[in-house]
Amino acid sequence: MQMQSLKQYLYNPICLSCGSFFVNNHLFCNDCYQKKIAPISEMKMKQLTEKFESYFLLNWIPFESDMLSEMVYRMKSDKCFGAWMYYAEKAADELAENLNIEQIDYIIPIPGSKKTSVHSHIFAQLLGRALRKPILDILVKTQTIGEQKRKNKTERLNKTIRLHEQFTRNLNLLGLARSHVLVVDDILTTGSSFIQSVEALGPVRKATLLTLFHRTANSNTVLVS
């Protein structure tokens, strides 16, 4: 028991809601999890465009929920492998109730812009294990500095998602055009990375986005002039 508490203390410091040391992999004590997270972590669908739908577990409105903001922050830190395991399994279970999992052929992570952004890959790996689907890590994100529009303006970073060069020639073998791909990321904001990823993949039978969080703009933002 003592060893277990020490492990919890080291890896998941305190409950994100009440500060208790008795924390589980879901980052809360069981009490807070049941009261505050379980009721709101149900798979929700959002239609991104006419063609594409996305699914997410938790709706995050920054500045409205310190608890969820802290959760996102902690999930993005390097101590949270257990939490990704927990929520990936939950996401896999919940997705199976919303989608015909049988029809998914591949799981494809959206690449992060920095080399250190590995969370979509971790999420994809764990989902792949839970859903028993192969992971195709074939997308890369490149950054090029765009031409400066005006003097003294900050440099514009052009981010593009493209296929990893090593795969482009063998792509036919994957049969993507006949496949339903589950594209995975940690947070859905505008969906533009997803659309870029699908464009980079070329023709697919169907593409669906799955994220853990959906970041929504502040609902009561007031612009003060």
> Which of 70, 155 has the CB closer to Zn ion?
70
Q: Render 139-168 in DSSP notation, one character per residue.
A: EEEEEEEPPPSSTTSPPPEEEEEEE-HHHH
**CB of 29: closest distance to Zn ion in angstroms?**
3
Indicate whether 195 belongs to the interface with Zn ion (CB under 5 A).
no
> Which of 19, 146 has the CB closer to Zn ion?
19
> Which of 17, 25 has the CB closer to Zn ion?
17
**CB of 88: closest distance to Zn ion in angstroms?**
22
The answer for residues whose C-beta is within 8 angstroms of residue 103's C-beta and 6 or more apart is: 180, 206
Residue 119 burial by CB count (10 A; 0-12/13-18/19+): exposed, middle or buried? buried
From 28-36, 83-91, 140-148, 177-185, give the range in contact with Zn ion by CB under 5 A: 28-36
**Of positions 32, 124, 161, 182, contacts Zn ion by CB under 5 A:** 32
Q: Compute the distance between CA of residue 1 and CA of residue 15 in angstroms, rounded to an integer.
A: 18
Helix, strand or coil, per DSSP, at residue 47: strand
> Which of 32, 182 has the CB closer to Zn ion?
32
> Which of 32, 99 has the CB closer to Zn ion?
32
Tokens read off for 110: 């959206």
Q: Compute the distance between CA of residue 56 and CA of residue 211 in angstroms, rounded to an integer.
A: 5
Q: Compute the distance between CA of residue 45 and CA of residue 48 in angstroms, rounded to an integer.
A: 9
From 22-30, 43-51, 125-133, 163-171, give the range in contact with Zn ion by CB under 5 A: 22-30
From 25-33, 89-97, 148-156, 190-198, give the range in contact with Zn ion by CB under 5 A: 25-33
Interaction with Zn ion in 117-146: which residues (CB under 5 A)?
Answer: none
